[in-house]
Amino acid sequence: MNPRLVGLTCVTLAVLFEALGQLRFKIGSESVHAQSNVTFLRSVWRQRIIGLGITLFVVEAVLWTMALRLLDVSLAFPAGSLCFVFVVVLSRVWLQEKISAARWIGVSLILGGVVLIGLS
Protein backbone atom coordinates (compact mmCIF):
# COMPACT_ATOMS: atom_id res chain seq x y z
CA MET A 1 0.00 0.00 0.00
CA ASN A 2 1.14 3.54 -0.74
CA PRO A 3 2.83 5.05 2.37
CA ARG A 4 1.31 8.48 1.67
CA LEU A 5 -2.18 6.99 1.56
CA VAL A 6 -1.56 5.09 4.81
CA GLY A 7 -0.24 8.29 6.40
CA LEU A 8 -3.26 10.31 5.30
CA THR A 9 -5.54 7.57 6.60
CA CYS A 10 -3.73 7.74 9.97
CA VAL A 11 -4.15 11.53 10.04
CA THR A 12 -7.85 11.25 9.23
CA LEU A 13 -8.41 8.63 11.92
CA ALA A 14 -6.32 10.62 14.42
CA VAL A 15 -8.36 13.78 13.96
CA LEU A 16 -11.60 11.78 14.10
CA PHE A 17 -10.53 10.30 17.45
CA GLU A 18 -9.56 13.78 18.64
CA ALA A 19 -12.98 15.15 17.67
CA LEU A 20 -14.74 12.26 19.40
CA GLY A 21 -12.62 12.91 22.50
CA GLN A 22 -13.64 16.58 22.48
CA LEU A 23 -17.31 15.61 22.36
CA ARG A 24 -16.82 13.20 25.26
CA PHE A 25 -15.22 15.98 27.33
CA LYS A 26 -18.13 18.30 26.48
CA ILE A 27 -20.75 15.72 27.45
CA GLY A 28 -18.85 14.75 30.61
CA SER A 29 -18.35 18.33 31.75
CA GLU A 30 -22.03 19.14 31.31
CA SER A 31 -23.08 16.22 33.49
CA VAL A 32 -21.01 17.48 36.43
CA HIS A 33 -22.83 19.74 38.88
CA ALA A 34 -20.34 21.10 41.37
CA GLN A 35 -20.29 24.07 43.70
CA SER A 36 -16.55 24.79 43.58
CA ASN A 37 -13.55 24.20 41.33
CA VAL A 38 -12.20 21.49 43.63
CA THR A 39 -15.52 19.67 43.70
CA PHE A 40 -15.77 20.06 39.93
CA LEU A 41 -12.33 18.50 39.39
CA ARG A 42 -13.17 15.60 41.71
CA SER A 43 -16.44 15.00 39.91
CA VAL A 44 -14.82 15.16 36.46
CA TRP A 45 -12.30 12.45 37.36
CA ARG A 46 -15.18 10.17 38.37
CA GLN A 47 -16.92 10.48 34.99
CA ARG A 48 -16.42 7.43 32.78
CA ILE A 49 -17.15 9.49 29.71
CA ILE A 50 -14.16 11.72 30.57
CA GLY A 51 -12.02 8.60 30.85
CA LEU A 52 -13.22 7.60 27.40
CA GLY A 53 -12.23 11.03 26.11
CA ILE A 54 -8.73 10.60 27.55
CA THR A 55 -8.50 7.13 25.98
CA LEU A 56 -9.52 8.56 22.61
CA PHE A 57 -6.77 11.20 22.93
CA VAL A 58 -4.19 8.47 23.62
CA VAL A 59 -5.29 6.56 20.51
CA GLU A 60 -5.17 9.83 18.57
CA ALA A 61 -1.57 10.42 19.68
CA VAL A 62 -0.52 6.95 18.52
CA LEU A 63 -2.19 7.40 15.13
CA TRP A 64 -0.69 10.89 14.77
CA THR A 65 2.79 9.55 15.51
CA MET A 66 2.31 6.84 12.90
CA ALA A 67 1.21 9.47 10.39
CA LEU A 68 4.29 11.60 11.07
CA ARG A 69 6.51 8.61 10.32
CA LEU A 70 4.96 8.39 6.85
CA LEU A 71 4.28 12.02 5.91
CA ASP A 72 6.06 15.33 5.85
CA VAL A 73 4.91 17.44 8.76
CA SER A 74 4.14 20.19 6.23
CA LEU A 75 1.39 17.90 4.89
CA ALA A 76 0.26 16.19 8.09
CA PHE A 77 -0.16 19.30 10.23
CA PRO A 78 -2.48 21.17 7.84
CA ALA A 79 -4.46 17.95 7.32
CA GLY A 80 -4.96 17.94 11.08
CA SER A 81 -7.27 20.90 10.50
CA LEU A 82 -9.88 18.32 9.59
CA CYS A 83 -10.47 18.09 13.34
CA PHE A 84 -12.35 21.40 13.12
CA VAL A 85 -14.55 19.92 10.41
CA PHE A 86 -15.24 16.73 12.37
CA VAL A 87 -16.04 18.66 15.56
CA VAL A 88 -18.56 20.88 13.79
CA VAL A 89 -20.27 17.98 12.04
CA LEU A 90 -20.31 15.72 15.11
CA SER A 91 -21.48 18.49 17.43
CA ARG A 92 -24.34 19.17 15.02
CA VAL A 93 -25.28 15.48 14.79
CA TRP A 94 -24.78 14.33 18.41
CA LEU A 95 -25.20 17.51 20.43
CA GLN A 96 -27.77 19.17 18.16
CA GLU A 97 -25.75 22.39 18.20
CA LYS A 98 -26.90 25.07 15.80
CA ILE A 99 -24.24 25.86 13.22
CA SER A 100 -24.41 29.22 11.49
CA ALA A 101 -23.99 29.69 7.76
CA ALA A 102 -20.73 31.55 8.39
CA ARG A 103 -19.37 28.57 10.30
CA TRP A 104 -20.35 26.19 7.48
CA ILE A 105 -18.54 28.47 5.05
CA GLY A 106 -15.49 28.29 7.31
CA VAL A 107 -15.70 24.50 7.36
CA SER A 108 -15.88 24.51 3.55
CA LEU A 109 -12.79 26.72 3.35
CA ILE A 110 -10.90 24.38 5.68
CA LEU A 111 -11.88 21.39 3.56
CA GLY A 112 -10.79 23.21 0.40
CA GLY A 113 -7.45 24.09 1.96
CA VAL A 114 -6.80 20.55 3.10
CA VAL A 115 -7.62 19.23 -0.38
CA LEU A 116 -5.28 21.75 -2.03
CA ILE A 117 -2.43 20.86 0.33
CA GLY A 118 -3.11 17.15 -0.12
CA LEU A 119 -2.91 17.47 -3.89
CA SER A 120 0.41 19.34 -3.79
Greater pLDDT, 31 or 68: 68
User: Is the confidence at residue 7, as pLDDT, over 90?
Assistant: yes
Q: Note down the domain range covering 34.
A: 3-119
Mean pLDDT of the chain: 90
Helices (H), the chain: 3-30, 37-45, 48-70, 73-79, 82-95, 101-119
pLDDT at 55: 94
pLDDT in tens, 50-62: 889 999 999 999 9
Q: Which span out of 2-6, 66-70, 115-119 was modeled with the highest average pLDDT?
A: 66-70
- Cα(24)–Cα(95) distance, integer angstroms: 11
Confidence of residue 119 (pLDDT cuts 50, 70, 90): confident
pLDDT at 39: 74
Confidence of residue 34 (pLDDT cuts 50, 70, 90): low
The total number of structural domains in the chain stands at 1
33: region left, alpha or beta (phi > 0 left; psi from -120 to 50 alpha): beta
pTM of the entire predicted model:
0.84
User: Is the confidence at residue 35, as pLDDT, over 70?
Assistant: no
Average pLDDT over residues 75-99: 94
